[in-house]
C-alpha cells in the first residue's frame, strides 16, 4: 500500500454504511481529586469535579466508524429507563442512526462507571443484566437488520460481542446467513460464550487471552508459529477466512491459510488500553470493505489501536492523526 492507496481508502470510508450488532452500553466517568484516606475504611476519598457519559461497547465501535467518515448503523438493545434515554441522547448528539435499536422494557441499559482520581482509575461499577434477551426482542432485532439491508447499501457487518446477552447461536447464524445472501463481509470481535458460534465469517479478531481461554491453550505472545497453527485449525473448523490476533505489546498476528504475518506494535506512551480493540475491528472492517488485503488492513488497524491507547478512557480514533501517520508509514 502506498500514499495514493491510503488516500483512496480514506476517501472511500466516507461512502460506507456499516452495521454494528452487539452489546451497547454507556461508559460513565466520574473525575475527581484524592486528598486523603477515609477514616471509615482504608479507601481513598475522592472529591468529584466532573461527570461524563460516553458511548460504550458496540456503540464505541460505531463511534470509531463515524470518526473515520463512515455511516454506522447500531443494532442493539437498551432498556426503557433514564440510562436508555441518555444513550439515545448521546446518539443524537453524535448524529448517529438509531434505526437498529430495540427497547426491552424489563431490561436495564448497561452502564459502566469508572471513578478516576488524578487520571488514575480507582474503581469501576457495572450496572447490567447479562441474561439472554427475550426471544421477541431477538426476532425484532433480526427484522430490523433485514429492513436496514433492504433499504441501504451495506458494506460490512461487525459483531461486537461483550457476552451481555444480546447474541446467541441462533441470532448469529441468522445474521450471517443474511450477510452471505447479500455478499456482505462480516467481522467479529468475540468473547468466550459465543466463540464457537461464529461460522462462515470473513475476519475473526480475538485478543490472545480470548483465544487462549476459548481454546483452552496457553500460547505465548511471542510463539508466533504456534499461534498461527492453532488459529488455522480453528479457522478450518469454523470456515473463517482470516484470523487476526491482537498481542498487546507484541503487536498483531494475521493468520490466513498457509501463512502468517506479524505486525510489530508501534512505540507509544501508553496511557489506557481500554477501547483499543474497538478501534482495531472498526479499521479492519472498513479496509476490507474497501478491498485491501487483510495484512494491509491489520497494518492500518495497528496504527489506530496504538493511537487510542495514548488517551485516558475509552475514546474513538482521530481520523486526521491516523491519516497523517498512515501517510508517513506507507510512503
Q: Residue 60: left if φ>0, alpha if ψ -120 to 50, beta else—which one?
A: alpha
Q: What separation, in Å, do the N-terminal and C-terminal C-alpha atoms of the chain show? A: 9
Q: Determine phi and psi for 72, rounding to 5 degrees.
A: -90, 145
139 flagged as catalytic: no
In this structure, are residues 161 and 23 in contact, taking their beta carbons and an 8 Å threshold? yes
The region that residue 223 occupies, defined by phi over 0 for left and psi between -120 and 50 for alpha, beta otherwise, is: beta
Per DSSP, helices labelled H in 41-168 are 58-67, 82-93, 135-151
Contact indicator for 19, 154 with CB cutoff of 8 Å = yes
Beta strands (DSSP E) in the chain are 17-22, 24-37, 44-57, 71-78, 97-103, 111-117, 120-127, 156-160, 185-189, 203-204, 242-246, 252-256, 259-263
Handedness of CA 243, 245, 246, 249 (dihedral sign): negative
Rounded Cα distance between 128 and 126, Å, is 6
Residue 30: φ, ψ to 5°:
-115, 115
Q: Output the nine-digit C-alpha cell for 295.
A: 495484512
The count of other CB atoms within 10 Å of the CB of residue 128 is 16
Q: Where are the beta strands (DSSP E) in 210-265?
A: 242-246, 252-256, 259-263
Choose, from 23, 27, 189, 278, the residue flagged as catalytic. Answer: 278
Active site residues: 278
Amino acid at each position: 500500500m502506498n500514499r495514493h492507496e491510503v488516500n483512496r481508502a480514506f476517501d472511500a470510508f466516507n461512502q460506507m454504511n456499516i452495521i454494528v450488532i452487539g452489546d451497547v452500553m454507556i461508559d460513565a466517568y466520574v473525575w475527581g481529586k484524592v486528598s486523603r484516606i477515609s477514616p471509615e475504611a482504608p479507601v481513598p476519598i475522592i472529591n468529584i469535579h466532573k461527570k461524563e457519559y460516553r458511548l460504550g461497547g458496540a456503540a464505541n465501535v460505531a463511534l470509531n466508524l463515524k470518526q473515520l467518515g463512515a455511516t454506522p448503523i447500531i443494532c442493539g438493545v437498551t432498556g426503557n429507563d433514564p440510562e436508555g434515554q441518555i444513550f439515545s441522547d448521546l446518539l443524537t448528539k453524535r448524529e448517529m442512526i438509531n434505526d437498529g435499536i430495540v427497547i426491552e422494557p424489563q431490561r436495564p441499559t448497561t452502564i459502566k462507571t469508572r471513578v478516576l482520581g488524578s487520571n488514575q482509575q480507582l474503581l469501576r461499577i457495572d450496572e447490567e443484566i447479562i441474561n439472554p434477551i427475550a426471544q421477541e426482542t431477538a426476532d425484532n432485532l433480526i427484522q430490523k437488520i433485514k429492513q436496514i439491508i433492504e433499504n441501504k447499501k451495506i458494506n460490512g457487518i461487525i459483531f461486537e460481542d461483550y457476552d451481555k446477552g444480546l447474541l446467541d447461536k441462533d441470532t448469529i447464524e441468522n445474521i450471517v446467513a443474511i450477510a452471505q445472501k447479500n455478499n456482505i463481509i462480516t467481522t467479529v470481535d468475540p468473547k468466550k460464550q459465543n466463540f464457537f458460534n461464529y461460522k462462515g465469517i470473513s475476519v475473526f479478531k480475538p485478543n490472545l487471552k480470548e483465544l487462549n481461554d476459548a481454546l483452552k491453550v496457553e500460547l505465548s505472545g511471542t510463539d508466533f508459529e504456534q499461534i498461527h497453527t492453532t488459529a488455522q485449525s480453528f479457522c478450518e473448523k469454523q470456515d473463517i477466512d482470516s484470523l487476526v490476533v491482537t498481542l498487546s505489546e507484541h503487536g498483531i498476528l494475521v493468520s490466513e491459510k498457509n501463512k502468517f504475518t506479524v505486525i510489530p506494535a508501534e512505540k507509544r506512551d501508553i496511557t489506557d488500553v481500554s477501547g483499543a480493540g474497538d478501534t482495531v475491528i472498526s479499521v479492519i472492517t472498513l479496509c476490507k470493505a474497501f478491498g485491501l488485503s487483510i495484512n494491509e488492513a491489520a497494518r492500518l488497524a495497528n496504527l489506530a489501536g496504538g493511537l487510542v491507547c495514548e488517551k485516558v478512557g475509552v475514546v474513538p480514533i482521530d481520523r486526521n492523526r491516523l491519516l497523517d501517520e498512515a501517510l508517513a508509514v506507507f510512503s
